[in-house]
């Protein structure tokens, strides 16, 4: 059971990389969507940004439209999502480099066309990554998607690509 974060058709923008002062994973979540999440030239939360809404605190499924992750060629985007508490991204489609970085880091990504039409803000979702089933518990509806291949689960179970290679 995960509350839904309603970021429709939002592409990952890597503003946080421009302001990043270190390579460590720690703290990257604070920079996620910084150009939208904070008011200009400050770290004051933008009240109009959906992730700053108190009703969405604790949400861990991020929903997006087409080409999620476009422009993010570094693992830092995945690290930032995880650092911000996002446990899974479901999108109509993904930028291929982002998708591979997610798999390499054991981060769950689900490609499901028209997802932004099927799900509404506030719907309670349950994702079965291995079976390829997304349950909308609010509407009592199930959607099917192509699950990630077995090798992706092996990478995730090992803690990432580098750890899986070492085994």
Instruction: Categorize the per-residue pLDDT at 104 as very low, low, confident or very high, splitting at 50, 70 and 90.
Output: very high
CA atoms within 13 Å, Cβ hemisphere of 118: 21
Q: What are phi and psi of 124, to 5 degrees?
A: -95, 125
Beta-strand runs (E) in the chain: 4-6, 61-64, 88-91, 109-111, 125-128, 133-136, 141-144
Assigned token pair, 4: 């839904």
Does the pLDDT value for residue 24 go beyond 80?
A: no
Average pLDDT over every residue of 54-59? 77
CA distance 79 to 65: 20
| Span of 25-29, 72-76, 118-122 with lowest mean pLDDT | 25-29
Express each pLDDT in 26-53 by its tens digit. Answer: 777 777 787 888 898 888 989 988 778 8
Radius of gyration of the chain, Cα coordinates, nearest whole angstrom = 16
Does the pLDDT value for residue 92 go beyond 90?
A: yes
Q: Which residues pair with 68 in a beta bridge?
A: 94
Instruction: Categorize the per-residue pLDDT at 13 as very low, low, confident or very high, splitting at 50, 70 and 90.
Output: very low
Which H or E run includes 79?
helix 76-83
Report how far apart the first and last C-alpha atoms of the chain are (Å, whole number).
32
């Amino acid at each position: 059971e995960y509350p839904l974060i309603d970021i429709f058709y939002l592409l990952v923008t890597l503003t946080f990389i421009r302001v990043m002062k270190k390579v460590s994973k720690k703290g990257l979540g604070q920079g996620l969507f910084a150009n939208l999440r904070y008011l200009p030239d400050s770290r004051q939360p933008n009240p109009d940004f959906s992730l700053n809404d108190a009703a969405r605190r604790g949400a861990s499924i991020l929903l997006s439209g087409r080409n999620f992750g476009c422009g993010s060629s570094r693992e830092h985007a995945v690290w930032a999502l995880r650092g911000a508490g996002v446990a899974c991204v479901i999108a109509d489609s993904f930028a291929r480099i982002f998708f591979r970085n997610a798999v390499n880091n054991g981060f769950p990504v689900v490609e499901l066309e028209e997802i932004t039409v099927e799900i509404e803000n506030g719907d309670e979702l349950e994702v079965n990554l291995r079976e390829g089933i997304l349950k909308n518990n609010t509407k009592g509806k199930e959607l099917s998607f192509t699950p990630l291949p077995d090798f992706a689960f092996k990478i995730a179970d090992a803690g990432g690509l580098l750890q899986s290679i070492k085994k």
